[in-house]
Amino acid sequence: MNVMTANTNHRRHDALVLDFDGVLVDSLPEVFAVALAAFTDLYPGCRLAGLAPAADPREPAYRRFCDLVPLGNGAADFGVSLLAVEQDRTITDQTGYDTFFESQPPDWRQTFHRTFYEKREALRRRDVKAWLRLHTPYEPFLALLRQRAVRGRTAIATAKDGTSVAALLDHFGAADLFDPDLIMDNRAGPDKTAHLKRILARLGTAPNRLVFVDDKVNHLLRVAPLGVTPVLAAWGYNTRREHRAARAAGFAVATQATAADVIFRERSQGTPSAALPGT
């Protein structure tokens, strides 16, 4: 029995949890610029030091970085992804990425994590308007949330720092959609499982009444054993590789065009039931 069938048939959901990057906001240009600054700070003579920090889809190194992002989790993964690009490693799937990630010394990963956040904070302090311009909201999905989401029953679970999340929600006029107590950032735990456990406790909601939307299959696979309903946001940082993996696991795959049906409406034929109160 697949995960989705086991957990979601013929149920009504009353809480919605969203990842941030890749679900609410496209921040890949900012992530690339900050990660590149951190990486070249650690390796000033590296081949990637010659790249412009602007995200250019014509640049092969940027495209390879974007292809690896769905396989990672947090800031350290951005460094590991750039290292793979720097070393011209061929990584095609989650297993290959995980093996390469684990082969990097933990101290190095921690150093990159710290340097990444130092570079982000420096960029934001130096020119907050320029930093904000590196982000683009997924406006069709935000518009749907403004119509259908219920404040106090809609949460965020993200590996991003809370300062950035608050600034971006305010900038895009979406701060009023979320109770601050239901925004779990990178201080809330090492992974999305820890985030969701805290959200479930605060909401007093059973896992089988919560829908979790993320753009990374590896996150959905980790949280599925909790009993929540996982949904892949196909508009985020993923490719057909992840779409196939999500469907193979029994997870729904939503586009911005189908999000209202997949996430918010009652479904009747063995597919996710995800209506929220008042919808």
CATH number at residue 189: 3.40.50.1000
* Residues 217, 99 within the same domain: no
Report if residue 41 sits inside a domain.
yes
Q: Average pLDDT, stretch 80-88?
A: 97
Strands 136-137 and 25-26: antiparallel
Mind listing the pLDDT tens digit for each residue in 233-279?
Answer: 999 999 999 999 999 999 999 999 999 999 986 433 333 333 333 33
Q: What is each CA distance from 87 to 90, 170, 214, 254, in whole angstroms?
A: 9, 39, 29, 35
* Residues 146, 259 within the same domain: yes
Report if residue 180 sits inside a domain.
yes
User: What's the CA angle centered on 9, arms 21 and 140, to 5 degrees?
Assistant: 30
Among 78, 105, 133, give the residue marking a domain's end: 133
CB within 8 A of 187, min separation 6: which ones?
162
Among 98, 133, 168, give the residue marking a domain's end: 133
Report if residue 272 sits inside a domain.
no
pLDDT band at 55 (very low <50, low <70, confident <90, very high): confident
* Residues 184, 121 within the same domain: no
* Residues 142, 251 within the same domain: yes
Percent of the chain surpassing pLDDT 70:
90
Report if residue 278 sits inside a domain.
no
Report if residue 159 sits inside a domain.
yes
Identify the weakest region by mean pLDDT among 44-48, 51-55, 212-216, 251-255. Answer: 51-55
* Residues 48, 33 within the same domain: yes
Instruction: Retrieve residue 279's tokens.
Output: 């919808």
pLDDT at residue 12, rounded to an integer: 55
* Residues 129, 210 within the same domain: no
Predicted TM-score (pTM) of the model is 0.86
Report if residue 225 sits inside a domain.
yes
Q: What crossing angle do the helices spanning 75-86 and 94-102 adopt, rounded to 10°? A: 100
DSSP codes of every residue in the chain: --HHHHHHTT----EEEE-SBTTTEE-HHHHHHHHHHHHHHH-TTSGGGGS-SS--TT-HHHHHHHHHGGG--SHHHHHHHHHHHHTT----SHHHHHHHHHTS-HHHHHHHHHHHHHHHHHHHHH-HHHHHHT-EE-HHHHHHHHHH--TTSEEEE-SS-HHHHHHHHHHTT-GGGS-GGGEE-TTS-SSHHHHHHHHHHHHT--GGGEEEEES-HHHHHHHGGGT-EEEEETTSS--HHHHHHHHHTT-EEE-TTTHIIIIIS---SSS-----TT-
Report if residue 271 sits inside a domain.
no
* Residues 180, 221 within the same domain: yes
Cβ–Cβ < 8 Å for 215, 238:
yes
Q: Average pLDDT, stretch 110-124?
A: 97
* Residues 176, 115 within the same domain: no
* Residues 54, 153 within the same domain: no
Q: What is each CA distance from 183 to 18, 60, 66, 141, 230, in whole angstroms?
A: 9, 35, 26, 18, 18
Number of domains in the chain: 2
* Residues 141, 22 within the same domain: yes
pLDDT at residue 256, rounded to an integer: 93
Report if residue 277 sits inside a domain.
no
Q: Using the predicted structure, report yes or no on whether residue 11 has a pLDDT greater than 60.
A: no
Mind listing the pLDDT tens digit for each residue in 182-197?
Answer: 999 999 988 899 999 9
* Residues 146, 110 within the same domain: no
pLDDT at residue 246, rounded to an integer: 96
* Residues 78, 17 within the same domain: no
Provide the domain limits for residue 222.
Answer: 3-26+136-264
Q: Average pLDDT, stretch 158-185?
A: 95
Among 133, 158, 180, give the residue marking a domain's end: 133
